[in-house]
Structure 1
Amino acid sequence: MLHTRTPWLRAAAPVAVLALSLTACGPKQDAAVSTTGSATDGEQTSAEAAAKTGTEPTGPAGGDGALTSGQSGTGPYREESGKITYEVAAQKVRVGTEADAKKMVQDPKNASGLVAATAYVKYTNKGPGVVTGLAKVANGAAFYADGQPGGLLIGTPGDLPGCEDPVDIDDWRVGESHVICQTYMIPKGAKSLEVRWTADGAAAPLVWKFTPTD
């Protein structure tokens, strides 16, 4: 999967007034998750590869391995309106430059040696009901670089291309999908990137692995 290092961050955050939280996301862990072979943008999934090789698709971390870009997993998450089952698929990761990162925080010194990485995750409401109020499913997501948790960047604009702001999502009905993006500060030059999502009660998160490119 291609991860571009482009000026997109400069367009997304022109004013350096964003608050940086270096505390990693801490999703709750209390139910099982399952994986499926759906994908987006015509990309080959582990399930498709399995059909050619005779092997089974990979499962969540702690099981048989990580999911591929666009491959989905399913698990429950408790919203204010009740517990909802979601199909979750990390689609891509965009990585900026150190110069971009310094423009995204109040004090550029906080971004020294860091870059900002944005994870694009698609969530589909599988039921049983409508999500009313502010959807919290993205709170189950986390980002890891070289095995270490990234710092969630609080206050990132929600108008990045292809991203939706949970504040603008009203009455999320069964069958509807929304792409919610979160931006994290990670060490510059990280070799291994992971998007993780933990369902309520899960013993282990779903994990999608990405390899950054120069």
Structure 2
Amino acid sequence: MLYRKTALRAATPVAVLALSLTACGGGGDDADAKPKQSESQSTAEASQSPAEAASGGKLATGESATGKVKEGDAEVTYDIAAQKVDIGTEAEAQALVQDKADAKGMVLAVAHVKFTHKAGPALTDSPDANDGTTIWADGKRGALLIGASDDSAGCEDPYDIEGWKQGESHVLCESYLIPANAKSVEVHWSEEDGEPYIWTFPNK
């Protein structure tokens, strides 16, 4: 289920529009520079049943994929599950960017993705696991907003995660601008140069 938040954090225009809105019309599913979020309690715990697909594919809500990420000098295997997407309002989106015209007809979408450390050494630095996360709407990639999901409920700050070891789970978030009239929202996650895993949520 996709949850609509009544008030996403939009106090000051601190968010950085990392992708021009013309990029919403296409482009690869490669990782971009990612925002860092703040810690809070996680919600909507997803059941974990690793996907059998080896290199991407569509998954049901609550279904997890398995992927490998280069964390520092070592490789770490994660179970990844997109839990939900919070959708804000056009006014909130405009408050997050310097030029309100950039957010005309757009809303803020914040994807909550749960990562579970399954194999590999404990992390010695902030994780890069969420670098493979993107948000798409009606088949087009949204515009990445750096810093827009800071302090959003349920989102953890990667900079606050220390010594992430096997068996531990954390919820990391990404924030994008997407068209307000989009019918569906997709959360994509992929390994570097890999095919994406895709979770689809209705926009309602």
TM-score if structure 1 supplies the norm length?
Answer: 0.78
Deviation for aligned residue 1:158:
2.7
Residue equivalent to 2:35: none
Deviation for aligned residue 1:82:
0.9
2:177 is equivalent to residue 172 of structure 1: no
Secondary structure of the structure 1 residue equivalent to 2:69 = strand
Residue equivalent to 1:26: 30
Secondary structure of the structure 1 residue equivalent to 2:3 = coil
Residue equivalent to 2:41: none
Residue equivalent to 2:200: 209
Deviations 1:17-37 (A, max 9, x none): 321112566239xxxxxxxxx
CA spacing shift, 1:86–1:101, aligned 2, 3 Å: same
Structure 2 stretches lacking a partner, 5+ long: 24-28, 33-43
RMSD: 2.4
Does structure 2 retain, via aligned residues, the 8 Å contact 1:81–1:131? no
Amino acid of the structure 1 residue aligned with 2:197 = L
2:188 is equivalent to residue 184 of structure 1: no
CA spacing shift, 1:73–1:42, aligned 2, 3 Å: closer
| Alignment map for 1:152-171 (pairs within 5 Å) | 152-171=144-163
Of residues 67, 73, 94, the one that matches 1:102 is 94
| Alignment map for 1:63-212 (pairs within 5 Å) | 63=57, 66-200=58-192, 202=194, 204-212=195-203
- Determine what percentage of the aligned residue pairs are the same residue: 42
Higher strand share: 2
Secondary structure of the structure 1 residue equivalent to 2:4 = coil
Does structure 1 retain, via aligned residues, the 8 Å contact 2:46–2:83? no
Amino acid of the structure 1 residue aligned with 2:31 = P
Residue equivalent to 2:3: 3
Q: Determine the C-alpha separation between the residues in 1 that align with 2:134 and 2:142.
A: 8
Amino acid of the structure 2 residue aligned with 1:14 = A
| Alignment map for 1:51-66 (pairs within 5 Å) | 59=53, 63=57, 66=58
Structure 1 stretches lacking a partner, 5+ long: 29-39, 48-56
Secondary structure of the structure 2 residue equivalent to 1:109 = helix
Q: Determine the C-alpha separation between the residues in 2 that align with 1:62 and 1:166.
A: 24
CA spacing shift, 1:19–1:124, aligned 2, 3 Å: same
Amino acid of the structure 2 residue aligned with 1:85 = T
Q: How many residue pairs were aligned?
A: 185
TM-score if structure 2 supplies the norm length?
Answer: 0.82
Secondary structure of the structure 2 residue equivalent to 1:86 = strand
Higher Cα Rg, which structure: 1
